[in-house]
Structure 1
Amino acid sequence: MSTNRQNISSGSPREPVLGYSRAVRVGNLVFVAGTTSGGIGEDAESQTREIFTRISKALEQAGASYEDVVRTRVYLTHLARDFDAVGAVHGEIFGEIRPVTATIGVSELASPDVLVEVEVDAVLA
């Protein structure tokens, strides 16, 4: 493994079993894995708020912040129903930052109660 690479863990027992990191920093690039609410929140808006709390912690561990985010990807199991609510939370966080983004409808995520998954990429100046 490159000495220029920093693997960041959330402490989830699933990470070593499944062979992934919550985030990886390589040089000035930070990639945060698809993040869910871990079962916290009954609707897409509350799940999204929890997800961005988790993403913020991962970015901070990598020496980054929301201001460094250049791309987001949002996966929704109910695109038409939840797009506006999730988009509003995204807008609260990234309204002035304005990263490129994609919102993708998917048939299912890790479990039936997971409505939203988000991943982000950041570049440190």
Structure 2
Amino acid sequence: MKRQNISSGAVWEDIVGYSRAVRIGHVVEVAGTTATDGDQVIGIGNAYEQTRYVLQKIERALHEAGATLQDVVRTRIFVTDISQWEEVGRAHGEFFRNIKPAATMVEVSALIQPELLVEIEATAIITQDPA
């Protein structure tokens, strides 16, 4: 099967050796995604805004891979403060309320920058070509 690497253009992709997303066959894996635009953190101090921004980035990567949010079967949400789960969950629900992928949310001690509150991974399985 052909492999398609999707880049977000982040400088860290070449340094660390990763892609924003990878598609092989009908499966798309989206790497851990944070609320960064270049080296700027979006939504500092606001878990809801960071989650929305992250999910928008994930949606763009999925589209580039030929998938949609409808194809997402799993999300993994890493938060630095589990007490903010409701704000993170509210934003996740705005994107996935009717799709309902399997989802996990766990608290971690830190993300790569102290201002980051949320990191999300996603797995999509394309069941049909988008129209």
Residues in 2 aligned to 1:10 and 1:71: alpha-carbon distance in whole angstroms: 21
CA-based RMSD: 0.7
Q: Runs in 1 of length 4+ with deviation above 4 angstroms?
A: none
Residues in 1 aligned to 2:101 and 2:70: alpha-carbon distance in whole angstroms: 9
Residues in 2 aligned to 1:104 and 1:68: alpha-carbon distance in whole angstroms: 23
Residues in 1 aligned to 2:86 and 2:124: alpha-carbon distance in whole angstroms: 24
Structure 1 position 13, deviation (Å): 1.2
Residues in 1 aligned to 2:17 and 2:111: alpha-carbon distance in whole angstroms: 18
Structure 1 position 40, deviation (Å): 0.5
How many residues are matched?
A: 122
In the alignment, what sits opposite 1:119? 121
In the alignment, what sits opposite 2:101? 99
Q: Percent identity?
A: 48
TM-score, with structure 1 as normaliser: 0.96
AA aligned opposite 1:16: D
SS of equivalent to 1:52? helix
In the alignment, what sits opposite 2:19? 21
TM-score, with structure 2 as normaliser: 0.91
Question: Residues 21-60 of structure 1: matches in 2 within 5 Å?
Answer: 21-38=19-36, 39-42=41-44, 43-60=46-63
> What 5-or-longer segments of structure 1 have no aligned partner?
none
AA aligned opposite 1:22: R
> What 5-or-longer segments of structure 2 have no aligned partner?
none
In the alignment, what sits opposite 2:87? 85
Structure 1 position 112, deviation (Å): 0.4
